[in-house]
Structure 1
Amino acid sequence: MTAMEPAPPQTVLGMLSGTSHDAVDVAAARLRFLDPHTIALRPLGLHSEPFPDTLRALIAAVLPPARTDLAQVCRLDTALGQFFGAVAARADTELTGGTADLVASHGQTVYHWVDDGRARGTLQLGAAAWIARATSLPVLSDLRTADLTLGGQGAPLVSLLDDLWLLGDGARRGALNLGGIANITVPGPAGAPRQVIAYDLGPANALIDAVVTADSGGAERMDTGGARAARGRVHPGLLERLLAEPYYRLPPPKSTGKELFHPGYPASVLRPGDPAGDDLVATLTELTARLVGTACRTHRLTELVVSGGGARNPVLMDRIRAAAAPAVLSTSDDHGLPAQAKEAYLFALLGFLGAHGLPGTRPSATGASAPAVLGSWTPGAQPLRLPAPHRGTPHRLVIERAD
């Protein structure tokens, strides 16, 4: 390949388990450079598998505020790596016919260490060697630490995808992801291209899921279809106390997780006579909507593109639509990527960038002092051979139609 020839396309598997720790998602994407500054991503599909109950219980047992020990962490790292590897191998067969070139695995976050507003460390489990063994492919993992070494939050990593894909045309458009935690990416100051702002807003599904799980004795794990919120009534007094959480007043960049918004968090705010059951779910749903609405007004958004599991909750979406007005809601499906699969496609993109020696962050979003080339490589069945570093800085991502 000469310096004038474009690098060949790569098929990448992007894999993660989010803060809800309910399933592993693997998205396959075909990625290539259209020119030195433009990447094309062709979605090839999403493969999802729920965690077995025993493995999900192991994850829950180490998440804050639970106490754990290194034996539990070691066993969980191994079990997750083995499960991720099996899922990735099945996804490769199902989605690409066994033609994937590499895997980018986010793993399962079990702790995100934030002290006095600064991210000090982060831990994602799921030993990459097991994934490489199961798939015979090179694996890029540990995708957050490099940003932390440069003073960044290591989050939200989705800000790069949002910037390349949705924010580069000068519109006051924002991107919202509704996972266990809600995060948002918005344009930076006018006249400052690539200076995007991104941060974790606060809880989206995390607290709702915790209340539903406890209230149902484990029979339900989420507010499916927003049914509980629809039956419940918002408690204004409790809502105001929830909104008084000091985290919300911190300036971006900032990040959070279940270290703060853990299953016991609602009980720390509740007082005698406060609502429970469906009314508590409705109030927590309204909390997320209010946080989103405040962000839309603060950043003067005219459009908000929503993705993540919370996009399937019609009550949450209706409350956000009302709170975000006059900003208009759309979903990432409307722009070419399925809302449920967007984060998995993010990690496919980060794998592609990492393979070409390109940064996977926007420093203005994470707070880092410089862009970071993300991740650590684990070879597959063959010696690790990466493409020559790409000459150029990507400024645009084009979503191509699947065949």
Structure 2
Amino acid sequence: MRVIGLMSGTSYDAIDAAAAELSLADDSLVLKPLGMVSEPYDEELREALAAALPPGTCSLAEVCRLDTRIGQVFAAAAVRADRELCDGEAELVASHGQTVYHWVEGGTVHGTLQLGQPAWIAEATGLPVVADFRPRDIAAGGQGAPLVSLVDLLWLRGRPGTPVALNIGGIANLTAPDGTAFDTGPGCALIDAAASGFSGGRFAYDVDGAVAARGRVHEPLLRRLLAEPYYALPAPKTTGKELFHLGYLRDALAGFGTLRAEDVVATLTRLTAETVADAVRSVGGTEVIASGGGIRNPTLMGMLAQRLPGVAVRTSDELGLPSDAKEAYAFAALGFLTAHGLPGTDPVSTGARHASVLGSITPGRDGWRLPRSGARAPVRLVVA
């Protein structure tokens, strides 16, 4: 089955559309990557989305407009992927949508909201769409994140030692072979907030880690940031920009006087490296397989490697999954599992009472039919 996975992360700069040929063979889920295209948000939509995210506020009218406009951009990405990567022969779209709020109180997740109305995708492509992956796991008592943990578990199985799958997006998360999975804290969220704040919005992120490379870590600020209670919470746990945003950074900077932008960004980069390294050590990781936009920041990756002596840090590209598109491929796989009536979660990873078949289905032009019954849940992922 040819499946298009659509993903836009917490950096909300573009939609990644990855196409894959997926099949079940004995006890394996076989994934053959077909490529990725990226559809950027236009500046107006990106600014509207940024203004609506915490700590900002917005009206229900704005939520409705964002749901429609984001859905239309997701639809455009799916159409491109079908045409350019699948020769018009895609059979299913799996859309993560754009997370705008993850409702966490007292360590319990009560709800989540992803925008990007799937009806626009189904109408534009004519294909059935699986969307709204996270709510079912939350309804079963889980964190609803990190949902890619099941794919990571299948993928890591059989590798020597204790390999850890790490994704560094706006928020960083990891998965260990025993099923332990959690958000480690801010990946690039605070770095991006500082880059935008100090530049008056001219820069959305620290390009190539150049600003951090020019700065020096401000140790008192780092100690204050590391005192964040989230880091001490046990897994499973999840967080987001509801916590780690520009207002959070401004509060952390209070009382330090005027700090150089380079030093603040260097300190935030060290914060991410420290919290990720602590998380890797907590699960006994002997190998880190990294993906996500954060791996393009050489200053961050250098700091991480320094804090993990003796631990191999490599990218998912080395194992056949393009790092820029790994999460989009993961959601293609989750959509494929849903289409076959198979669970897409591991309860150990999310803390749910049981594994669940994920998502809501929007029929395509020809309706919706399950491919076949009697399929068995795979125990490993093979990248063809």
| Smaller-chain TM-score bracket | over 0.9
Q: Structure 1 CA distance, aligned partners of 2:342 and 2:42?
A: 36
- Name the CA shift for 1:281/1:290 in 2 (closer, same or farther; >3 Å): same
Which range moved further: 293-302 or 57-66? Answer: 293-302
Q: Which residue of 1 aligns with 2:361?
A: 377
AA in 1 matched with 2:350: T
Q: Structure 2 CA distance, aligned partners of 1:111 and 1:276?
A: 32
**What TM-score do you get using the length of structure 2 for normalisation?**
0.98
SS of the residue 2:246 aligns to = coil
Contact 1:38 1:397 survives alignment (8 Å)? yes
SS of the residue 2:245 aligns to = coil
Q: Structure 2 CA distance, aligned partners of 1:391 and 1:49?
A: 34
User: How far has the Cα of 1:391 moved from its partner?
Assistant: 2.9
User: How far has the Cα of 1:296 moved from its partner?
Assistant: 2.1
Equivalent residues, number: 383
User: How far has the Cα of 1:274 moved from its partner?
Assistant: 5.7
SS of the residue 1:341 aligns to = helix
The question of 1:74 aligning with 2:57 is answered no
The question of 1:121 aligning with 2:111 is answered yes
Q: Which residue of 2 aligns with 1:27?
A: 18
The question of 1:56 aligning with 2:46 is answered yes
Contact 1:360 1:374 survives alignment (8 Å)? yes
**What TM-score do you get using the length of structure 1 for normalisation?**
0.93
Contact 2:157 2:380 survives alignment (8 Å)? no
Q: Which residue of 1 aligns with 2:327?
A: 343
Q: Structure 2 CA distance, aligned partners of 1:56 and 1:241?
A: 31
AA in 1 matched with 2:152: D
Q: Which residue of 1 aligns with 2:199?
A: 216
Q: Cα RMSD (Å) of the superposition? A: 1.0
Q: Structure 2 CA distance, aligned partners of 1:305 and 1:124?
A: 27
Q: Which residue of 1 aligns with 2:130?
A: 140
Q: Structure 2 CA distance, aligned partners of 1:53 and 1:106?
A: 21
Q: Structure 1 CA distance, aligned partners of 2:3 and 2:64?
A: 28
Question: Gaps spanning 5+ residues in structure 1: where?
Answer: 1-9, 189-195
Q: Which residue of 2 aligns with 1:356?
A: 340
Correspondence for 2:286 among 279, 302, 307: 302
AA in 2 matched with 1:159: S
AA in 1 matched with 2:227: A
| CA deviation vs aligned residue, 1:144-184 (integer Å, no higher than 9, x gap) | 00100110000001111110001444521101100000001
Q: Which residue of 2 aligns with 1:7?
A: none
The question of 1:182 aligning with 2:183 is answered no
Correspondence for 2:180 among 197, 202, 218: 197
SS of the residue 2:294 aligns to = helix
Q: Which residue of 2 aligns with 1:323?
A: 307
| CA deviation vs aligned residue, 1:304-326 (integer Å, no higher than 9, x gap) | 11100001111100000011222
Q: Structure 2 CA distance, aligned partners of 1:168 and 1:62?
A: 43
Contact 2:207 2:297 survives alignment (8 Å)? yes
Contact 1:105 1:140 survives alignment (8 Å)? yes
Question: Gaps spanning 5+ residues in structure 2: where?
Answer: none
